[in-house]
Amino acid sequence: MVKPSSARTWVLRMQRHGWRRDYGLGSAFDVSLAEAREAAAALRRRVREGFDPIAERRQARKITPSFEAATRACYETLREGWNSGHHAKWLSSFEKHMFPRIGKKPVDRVDSATVVEALSPIWLEIPETARRILQRISVVLDFAHIKGWVPEEISLRSVRKGLPRQSDKRGHMEAMRYADVPALMQKLEAAAPTTGRDALRFTIYNAVRSNETRFAVWTEFDLDKGIWTIPGERMKARETHVVPLSAPVVALLRKRWNERTSDTGLVFSSRNDKPISDVTMTKLLRDDGITGVTVHGFRSSFTDWAAETTDFPKEVADKALAHKLPNKVEAAYRRTDFFEKRRSLMALWAEYLDELPGKESEDAAATASGPIPLRAAA
């Protein structure tokens, strides 16, 4: 073949399975006719045996990223569909447990045996985290396959067979007895105020998840109406949740509002642009000598209190916790969010929490008596 530049090259033209392809054999200046014919004959034999030289050349030119690079690329691509709390947890689990072990390994060399070896040190020590990481690794490898970095889909279904059996006893988040929560609340209120203490009190008063508190911004609140509207993208169930705020909560928020530096920033942050750590509230409990209790467990404390000391239906307490009805048919017909009943329930919960330790409740029957007037928080 003589190119417009007058350069001359040897080319083998072949047709196979209905496709015509040209294969370069080298410059006519460097390769003789006899050498070109010999190379062409060898190439024909290899093609008939299934060899694809063009695909091989493309593969050779392709740069396969490391497992860490592929994971970060996957994270950046998929993160838009996640809530804020999921962002940090998803990537941090890799940074802490996987990248030090297999982060530098080319992603196309990460297989089931590699994953088994990487998960072994944490499989029994932190089983729930290990299971989540296994699922996330599968997402990364699927992403890498779609990007062309991994030639074939990799199934990790056999990984569990190469690891010891985890206990079926996964347990719930450990909770404080509801009878002990008022004493804790009194102690938090009496201590020097900090962002972490305010966040913990706020979380317990509203029986919400810690991430719902950590990422709360001022634009979600209507303090005059005593309402906190959490957008669906920040909720576990991906549905907007409206929280009725009790009087003590409004008072706490008004105090923080007066000390704010931004009208739209984070409520519980010293810098408005960075949320408090997910361990800040837990550390307060540990520093006070309270072990084996989680912040999430206060939702269980609330559930037990509502069930054992009030006459509110379970559905109202479940809605206060933003739980979805497991029965899809029932969920389709039950459209109410029990907002007014929830306002009464949360007011009663706040009243219970603010009782002095040892003081008997004035409303032992704990029936709904109506919401606490918001003007009390002014």
Residues 76 and 101 in one domain: yes
Q: Are residues 72 and 116 in the same domain?
A: yes
Does 73 share its domain with 191?
no
pLDDT at position 247 is 94
Structural tokens at position 213 = 């508190």
Long-range contacts of 312-320 (CB under 8 A, 24+ apart): 312/341, 312/344, 312/345, 312/368, 316/341, 316/342, 316/345, 317/345, 320/207, 320/345, 320/346
- Residues 206 and 239 placed together within one structural domain of the fold: yes
Q: Which residue range is the domain that position 362 belongs to?
A: 178-377
226 plus 138 within the same structural domain: no
What CATH number has the domain bearing residue 312? 1.10.443.10
Residue 323: its pLDDT value, please? 79
Do 153 and 248 reside in the same domain of the chain? Answer: no
pLDDT of residue 339: 87
Q: Are residues 265 and 323 in the same domain?
A: yes
Number of domains in the chain: 3
Distance CA 345, CA 316 (A): 8
Which residues of the chain register pLDDT less than 50? 170-172, 327, 329-333, 359-378
Question: What pLDDT score does 59 carry?
Answer: 60
